[in-house]
Amino acid sequence: SSATPSLPCATASRRPRFYVARAMSSHIVGYPRIGPKRELKFALESFWDGKTNVDDLQNVAANLRKSIWKHMAHAGIKYIPSNTFSYYDQMLDTTAMLGAVPSRYGWESGEIGFDVYFSMARGNASAHAMEMTKWFDTNYHYIVPELGPDVNFSYASHKAVVEFKEAKALGIDTVPVLIGPMTYLLLSKPAKGVEKSFCLLSLIDKILPVYKEVLADLKSAGARWIQFDEPILVMDLDTSQLQAFSDAYSHMESSLAGLNVLIATYFADVPAEAYKTLMSLKCVTGFGFDLVRGLETLDLIKMNFPRGKLLFAGVVDGRNIWANDLSASLKTLQTLEDIVGKEKVVVSTSCSLLHTAVDLVNEMKLDKELKSWLAFAAQKVVEVNALAKSFSGAKDEALFSSNSMRQASRRSSPRVTNAAVQQDVDAVKKSDHHRSTEVSVRLQAQQKKLNLPALPTTTIGSFPQTTDLRRIRREFKAKKISEVDYVQTIKEEYEKVIKLQEELGIDVLVHGEAERNDMVEFFGEQLSGFAFTSNGWVQSYGSRCVKPPIIYGDITRPKAMTVFWSSMAQKMTQRPMKGMLTGPVTILNWSFVRNDQPRHETCFQIALAIKDEVEDLEKAGVTVIQIDEAALREGLPLRKSEQKFYLDWAVHAFRITNSGVQDSTQIHTHMCYSNFNDIIHSIIDMDADVITIENSRSDEKLLSVFHEGVKYGAGIGPGVYDIHSPRIPSTEEIAERINKMLAVLDSKVLWVNPDCGLKTRNYSEVKSALSNMVAAAKLIRSQL
Ligand code: GLN
Ligand code: ZN
C-alpha cells in the first residue's frame, strides 16, 4: 500500500524483483559505542587525564561510528540508527540537547561542549556530578536529569543532526534516534530545592518546542525517519501519564509531518492500557516491541494492530549473548505477518544492543563449540538481516542450517545438561527452607560464642586493591609465579589487613578479598557451567564496563572455593573473621544467563553450590559467614505484576544457602544500591542474622521504613559513610548518623559499618575513615 514508507536500502539492488511481495525489512534499535576492544573507554580516559586532546578523542569516536554504520550497511540492514553513539550517556545527551544544564555548572547559552558535558557527568573542581542511576532493569547507568520550574530549555546540542549528516556523508541514510520526551521527563528528578512533589510532566510544554526544533533541523538535513525511544511505556503508567503521552505526540504532529515515525519500546511487554494509547497515536508510522521479554505483547498485537502501520518486531535478544534460534524467530515473524499483513513487519532487535557484548570475533580463548552457540552485537546484526532476507525470498539456506545445527548441539550437549543437578533442583524447589530456630534465639546463641560489644563494628569485605595485588593475581593466572609464592603473597596481604583492623579496634574482621578479582568471577571460575570471555565488555556507565560471565550449563561445585583462604585468615586472629561468599541471586544477576531454562532454575542451582560452600566453611570453624546479595534489588522486574514471583524465588534461593547451619553460626548478608524500601519485607524474609546495607547516598531513606513502624529483629548495619567518595567522614558526623539510626532501631540490633567494600579506596582514606568510624561507635556505646 502507499502508506509504506520507502527508503533506498543497501541491498535493494541485489534483490530479485519478484521477491518484493515478501519484503520484510530489518532494523537495529541501537548499538554499543564502547568499541570491540573498549576503544572509546581508553580514548575517554586519556582525554580526561589530559594525555590526549579533543581531536584525538573525536577521531576515535568518529572511527567507531563509521565502522558501526558500515557494518550495518554491509550486513544489509535497512533502518540503521544514528545518534545512538554517546561520549558518556544518551540521557545526558538529551539533557544537553534540551539545554537543561543545572546552574552549578555555570553554563548559560551556546552549544554545549565537552567541558560542560563532562562536568555534568563527572563533576569538576567546583561542582559535583549529577546523580547516576540504573537504566530500567539493566546494569547500564544513566545520568539523572535535574529539573524544576525554572529550567530554561533551549536547543543546545546539535549532536543528533550532526551525526545524521556524518552518516549521510558516508553514504548511509540513517534513522536518528532520540529519547522520547515522556521517557526523558519520567526518568528525571526534581532538582535540589524543588519540592519533591513537583510534577515533572508539567515541563512537557517547555521541552516540546526544543524537540520540534530538533525535528525541523533533522528534516532539513534530509532525515526521513525519526525513532523515539519510549521504554517508559513498559512501566505501570497511570491514566494521566498515558494521557500526557498522547498529548505530547499530538502536540508534535505538525513537526512530525513528512517524517516516518517509529516509537520503540523495550525491556518488557507494553501493558494493555499503554498499548491502547500507543495504537491510537496518529502521527506514528511504526511501533517497536521487545518480543523476547514481552511475550504478552504478541496477544495484544493479535487483538488489535492498526492497518497500514509497521511492526518492528524485536525478536533478536539485545540483552544476551546467545545465537538466535533463527527458525523459531521465523515462525514468530510469520505469525506476525499473518496478523498485520505483508510488508508490514520489520525484523528488529529486542532493545538496543548496548546491553550485550560487542563482537565475538575477538574471542580467541573460548572453545569452538561454546563459541558456536553465541552471538554478540556484531553477529546479531547479521542475524536480524538473515531473518529479513529469508522473507524476501533470499533465504540463506547454509546459514539457517548451520544455525539449526548449532542450536541442536547446544540442546543436546552434556556440557549443558547434568541430570543429577536438575533432580536436586527439582527436589529443592518443592520444599521451603528456613532455619529451624527463630532469629532472636539464634542471636543469643551467637552472642554467647562471639561475645561482641553493643554496636559491633565491621566492614563489608574488600580492602584496597593495589596495583601490586592486581599484578600478582595476573601473574599467577598466567603461571608466571608459583602457587606457593602466590599463596605467600596473599597471606602477607591478609596479615597486613588483619593487623590494621585489630589496631583500629574493629570487632568482626574480614580478610580483605585480596585473592579475588571480582566477586562474581572469582566464584564463576571455580564452578562448572560458567565461561569467561576476553572482550565481552558491556558498558556500565561512562567509560566503565563490566565483563559478565556466561552461564551456559547446569552448575556444580567441583570443590570448596573459599575454605582454604577463609580458614587461613581465621587462624591469623583471635577475633571473629567473616567467611565471605557471593549469593546466588547476585551471581545470577551479574552474569549472562541461560535462555533455555527459567532464571530461577539457574539460581537454585547456584544456591545449592553456595549451600555446600557455607556448610564446608562452618565445618572448618568459620562461625560468621557473609553471603553478599549486592544485586538482589536490581533484579526486581519492572512490572509490579512480576515482582512478587521474583522476590519469592530470590529470597528462597538465599535461604537455601544457609538454612542448614547451626544456630550459633552467624549469617550476614550485604546489599548495595538504594531503594530497598519497597522490598523491605523480602529482606526480612531472607532471615539473615545480620544485614549490612548501603544507605548513606540515599538520604537515609532506608531509615524511614523503620520510622513507619516496620519491625526488624535481626542485626542491621545501615552504612554510616559513603565509600564511593574519597571524602573522610568525621567522628562527629558518623556519631550523629548512628544516633539517627538509634532513634528507630534498637541498640541491640544495630551494627556500625561502611556502605560497601573498600576495594576502590586507598589505604590512607580507609585508615582515617575507619578510625573515625570506630571512635564514633565507642563514643555512642559509652552513652548507652
Ligand atoms: N564483599 C564485597 C566487597 O566488599 C561486596 C561488594 C559489593 O557489595 N558490591 O567488595
Ligand atoms: Zn555493596
Q: Is the CB of 630 under 6 A from ligand 1?
A: yes
Return the pLDDT at 699.
Answer: 59
Pull the grid cell for residue 187: 526518568
**Nearest ligand, CA of residue 586?**
1
Q: Is the CB of 757 under 6 A from ligand 1?
A: yes
Report whether 271 contacts 294 (CB < 8 A).
Answer: no
Please give the Cα distance from 381 to 73 (Å, whole number). Answer: 10
Return the pLDDT at 8.
Answer: 40
Report whether 582 contacts 671 (CB < 8 A).
Answer: no
> Which residues hold their Cβ within 5 A of ligand 2, which is an ion?
630, 672, 756
Binning pLDDT at 50, 70 and 90, where does residue 711 land? confident
Tell me the best of 506, 668, 759, 766 to mutate to test the pocket of ligand 1, counting ligand atoms within 8 Å of each CB and taking the most.
759
What digits encode the pLDDT tens for the residues 307-316?
999 999 999 9
Distance 671 CA to ligand 1 centre (A): 9
Please give the Cα distance from 742 to 732 (Å, whole number). Answer: 15
On the CB side of 772, how many CA atoms lie within 13 Å of its CA? 20
SS3 328: helix
SS3 102: coil
Please give the Cα distance from 520 to 585 (Å, whole number). Answer: 11
Range 754-773 average pLDDT: 96
Return the pLDDT at 342.
Answer: 79
pLDDT tops 80 at residue 621: yes
pLDDT tops 60 at residue 3: no
Please give the Cα distance from 127 to 116 (Å, whole number). Answer: 11
Q: Name which residue sits closest to atom 7 of ligand 1, judged by CA.
A: 630
Range 701-714 average pLDDT: 84
What digits encode the pLDDT tens for the residues 15-37?
444 444 456 899 999 999 999 99
Please give the Cα distance from 514 to 165 (Å, whole number). Answer: 50
**Nearest ligand, CA of residue 522?**
1
Please give the Cα distance from 767 to 197 (Å, whole number). Answer: 41
Q: Is the CB of 519 under 6 A from ligand 1?
A: yes
On the CB side of 187, how many CA atoms lie within 13 Å of its CA? 28
Pull the grid cell for residue 691: 544485614
On the CB side of 241, how many CA atoms lie within 13 Å of its CA? 18
Please give the Cα distance from 774 to 688 (Å, whole number). Answer: 24
SS3 38: coil
Tell me the best of 458, 462, 674 to mutate to test the pocket of ligand 1, counting ligand atoms within 8 Å of each CB and taking the most.
462
Binning pLDDT at 50, 70 and 90, where does residue 9 land? very low
Residue showing cell 519540592: 195
pTM: predicted TM-score of the whole model, two decimal places: 0.93
Q: Is the CB of 692 under 6 A from ligand 1?
A: no
Neighbours of 237 (CB within 10 A): 20
Q: Which atom of ligand 1 is nearest to the CA of 757?
A: 4
Q: Which of 434, 681, 707, 724 is catalytic?
A: 724
Distance 350 CA to ligand 2 centre (A): 30
What digits encode the pLDDT tens for the residues 400-412?
999 999 999 999 9
Q: Is the CB of 628 under 6 A from ligand 1?
A: yes
Going by C-alpha positions, the residue among 506, 463, 452, 548 that lies closest to residue 756 is 463
CA dihedral 464, 467, 469, 470 (to 10 degrees): 110
ipTM: 0.99
Report whether 90 contacts 539 (CB < 8 A).
Answer: no
Neighbours of 476 (CB within 10 A): 18
Q: Name which residue sits closest to atom 6 of ligand 1, judged by CA.
A: 757
Q: Is the CB of 672 under 6 A from ligand 1?
A: yes
Distance 757 CA to ligand 1 centre (A): 5
Distance 769 CA to ligand 1 centre (A): 17
Distance 703 CA to ligand 2 centre (A): 17
Q: Is the CB of 316 under 6 A from ligand 1?
A: no
Distance 294 CA to ligand 2 centre (A): 31
**Nearest ligand, CA of residue 462?**
1
What digits encode the pLDDT tens for the residues 178-220?
999 999 999 999 999 999 889 999 999 999 999 999 999 999 9
Does 724 participate in catalysis according to the annotation? yes
Q: Is the CB of 60 under 6 A from ligand 1?
A: no
**Nearest ligand, CA of residue 461?**
1
Return the pLDDT at 674.
Answer: 64
Instruction: Please state the three-class secondary structure of 502-550 as a single string.
Output: HHHCCCEECCECCCCCCCCHHHHCCCEEEECCCCCCEEEECCEEECCCE
Report whether 266 contacts 351 (CB < 8 A).
Answer: yes
CA dihedral 736, 741, 746, 751 (to 10 degrees): -80
The more confidently predicted of residues 5 and 325 is: 325
Please give the Cα distance from 143 to 130 (Å, whole number). Answer: 6
Please give the Cα distance from 609 to 240 (Å, whole number). Answer: 48
pLDDT tops 90 at residue 726: no
Report whether 597 contacts 579 (CB < 8 A).
Answer: no
The more confidently predicted of residues 726 and 367 is: 367
| H-helix or E-strand spanning residue 488 | helix 483-504
The more confidently predicted of residues 203 and 391 is: 203
Q: Name which residue sits closest to atom 5 of ligand 1, judged by CA.
A: 757
Residue showing cell 536500502: 9
Please give the Cα distance from 437 to 445 (Å, whole number). Answer: 10
Return the pLDDT at 5.
Answer: 42
State the average pLDDT for the chain: 94
Q: Is the CB of 333 under 6 A from ligand 1?
A: no
Return the pLDDT at 375.
Answer: 98
Binning pLDDT at 50, 70 and 90, where does residue 710 land? confident
pLDDT tops 70 at residue 697: no
Q: Is the CB of 719 under 6 A from ligand 1?
A: no
Going by C-alpha positions, the residue among 77, 284, 248, 137 that lies closest to residue 632 is 137
Range 720-740 average pLDDT: 92
Report whether 677 contacts 705 (CB < 8 A).
Answer: yes
Return the pLDDT at 698.
Answer: 60
